[in-house]
């Protein structure tokens, strides 16, 4: 544990007894983010500079970007360049959107500025589900979902499957037999990789046998999130990427996006979204402000709180075990006094939100080669080291 982190958190806790500073007007980055300095926003620049040097040196592998915002202002922003064309040499030569080594698709879309979000897409999809429920286009989370897939070939009867609700899908407690956690995504034994190779992703998920009763345990399942893509299309009449453009991205001022689609035309909601770091930070800022943007409620009241509540323990018995809400990860801090939640994606995509500290940060990368991803707790703890007031 970093000593600086303990000092920073002690100072922050001690400061809780002092008179609060005068309230500042909320800054909305719809057109662009306001820019400030770490010191002006109560952060120590030194820990951020140290982390910057480590990222720039390659000590954490292929990290591509670091963005830190506080109180609605960008206080630190860096990008790091890597030769992904060279790294691709000698890898799987079959080019395509689901060859994770292909530099035309990963980490940037067609070598441009849009960065793959991977499973951060799941958290964005959760926001779309919330919006659709709030607009009456999707049913409540207590709804059993199998009747909603009646147009697909039905799997063998199983009472456990019949009990699966929308909330089970959102919390990845579906009970479906699935493994994308013990084998790499580049391994053909990976359930998600096999889904991505199939002609109909929804049918592939529905065809999988049940392993548990829904709600019994957490099993990370990208196929579950893809089921949400089908439900959004049925409920709203629009594909998820179309619905997002109208009801989520447009109000936030996000205009430059790309979203991969499946062979049947559905949005790849489990991992197909591409955004810039600044636009991803807007999603975090929307959640920090309880789903309200410039005075307009985009997410139903209570959706952010429920989505970021630790509903499921993903690693029971482990210290600082990550929890899970509605497609969002909940990260206990070392002191347990601060709430932090995150959207996390393969290769090192991290959107971290600490509402009590008005802190939103983005780390992007593509650590699929010879270096592990920047761990979520590493990113969170190093960021908290910078908090002074």
- Integer Cα distance of 107 and 110 in angstroms: 9
The 10s digit of each residue's pLDDT in 99-112 is 999 999 999 999 99
pLDDT band at 92 (very low <50, low <70, confident <90, very high): confident
> What total of structural domains would you count in the chain?
1
* pLDDT at residue 188, rounded to an integer: 83
Phi, psi (5° rounding) for residue 326?
A: -90, 80
**Owning domain of residue 176:** 3-384
263 occurs within a structural domain: yes
389 occurs within a structural domain: no
Selection from 328, 310, 296 nearest residue 134 by Cα: 296
The CATH number of residue 180's host domain is: 3.40.710.10
User: 125, 348 in Cβ contact below 8 A?
Assistant: no
Tokens of 174: 């579906």
Tokens of 157: 């009867």
Residue range 277-298: mean pLDDT, rounded: 98
* pLDDT at residue 22, rounded to an integer: 55
- Residue 346, SS3? coil
The 10s digit of each residue's pLDDT in 266-283 is 999 999 999 999 999 999
Q: Given a cut of 50, is residue 13 above it in pLDDT?
A: no
239 occurs within a structural domain: yes
319 occurs within a structural domain: yes
pLDDT band at 140 (very low <50, low <70, confident <90, very high): very high
317 occurs within a structural domain: yes
* pLDDT at residue 14, rounded to an integer: 45
- Integer Cα distance of 307 and 323 in angstroms: 11
Q: Given a cut of 50, is residue 5 above it in pLDDT?
A: no
């Amino acid at each position: 544990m970093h000593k600086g982190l303990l000092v920073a958190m002690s100072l922050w806790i001690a400061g809780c007894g002092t008179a609060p500073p005068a309230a500042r007007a909320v800054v909305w980055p719809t057109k662009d983010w306001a820019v400030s300095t770490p010191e002006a926003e109560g952060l120590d620049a030194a820990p951020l500079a140290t982390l910057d040097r480590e990222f720039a040196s390659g000590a954490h592998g292929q990290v591509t970007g670091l963005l830190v915002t506080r109180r609605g202002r960008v206080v630190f922003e860096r990008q790091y360049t890597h030769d992904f064309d060279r790294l691709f040499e000698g890898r799987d030569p079959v080019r395509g959107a689901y060859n994770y080594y292909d530099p035309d698709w990963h980490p940037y879309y067609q070598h441009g500025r849009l960065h793959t979000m991977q499973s951060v897409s799941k958290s964005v999809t959760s926001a779309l589900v919330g919006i659709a429920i709030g607009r009456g286009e999707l049913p409540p989370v207590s709804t059993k979902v199998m009747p909603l897939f009646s147009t697909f070939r039905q799997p063998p009867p199983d009472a456990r499957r019949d009990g699966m609700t929308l909330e089970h899908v959102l919390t990845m407690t579906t009970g479906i037999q699935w493994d994308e956690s013990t084998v790499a995504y580049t391994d053909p034994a990976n359930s998600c990789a096999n889904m991505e190779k199939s002609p109909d992703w929804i049918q592939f998920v529905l065809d999988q046998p049940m392993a548990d009763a829904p709600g019994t345990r957490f099993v990370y399942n990208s196929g579950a999130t893809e089921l949400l893509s089908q439900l959004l299309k049925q409920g709203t009449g629009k594909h998820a990427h179309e619905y997002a453009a109208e009801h989520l991205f447009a109000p936030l001022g996000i205009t430059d996006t790309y979203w991969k689609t499946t062979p049947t035309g559905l949005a790849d909601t489990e991992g197909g979204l591409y955004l810039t770091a600044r636009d991803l930070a807007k999603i975090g800022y929307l959640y920090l402000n309880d789903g309200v943007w410039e005075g307009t409620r985009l997410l139903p009241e209570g959706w952010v709180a429920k989505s970021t509540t630790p509903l499921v323990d993903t690693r029971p018995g482990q210290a600082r075990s990550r929890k899970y809400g509605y497609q969002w990860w909940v990260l206990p801090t070392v002191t347990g006094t601060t709430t932090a939640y995150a959207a996390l994606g393969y290769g090192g995509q991290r959107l971290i939100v600490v509402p009590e500290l008005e802190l939103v940060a983005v780390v992007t990368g593509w650590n699929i080669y010879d270096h592990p991803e920047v761990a979520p707790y590493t990113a969170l703890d190093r960021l908290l080291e910078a908090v002074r007031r």
